Amino acid sequence: MQREIDRMFDRFRGGMIDDGSASTWLPTVDIAEQENDYVVKVDLPGVNKSDVKITVQNDVLTIRGEKKQEKEKKGENYHRVERSYGSFQRSFTLPSSVMSDKIEASYDNGVLTITLPKVEEAKPKEIEVKVK
CA 96, 99, 101, 104 torsion: positive or negative?
negative
Please name each of the domains of the chain with its CATH number: 2-121 (2.60.40.790)
Q: How confident is the model at residue 31 (pLDDT cuts 50, 70, 90)?
A: very high
- 113 near 39, Cβ under 8 Å? yes
Determine the pLDDT at residue 3. Answer: 62
Tell me the CA distances in angstroms from 19 to 6, 14, 23, 32, 74, one per residue in order. 25, 15, 10, 23, 38
Over the stretch 65-115, which tens digit does the pLDDT of each residue have?
A: 999 887 777 778 888 888 888 999 999 998 888 998 899 999 999 999 999
Amino acid at 8: M
Determine the pLDDT at residue 17. Answer: 46
Amino acid at 105: A
Q: What is the enclosing helix (H) or strand (E) of 5? A: helix 2-13
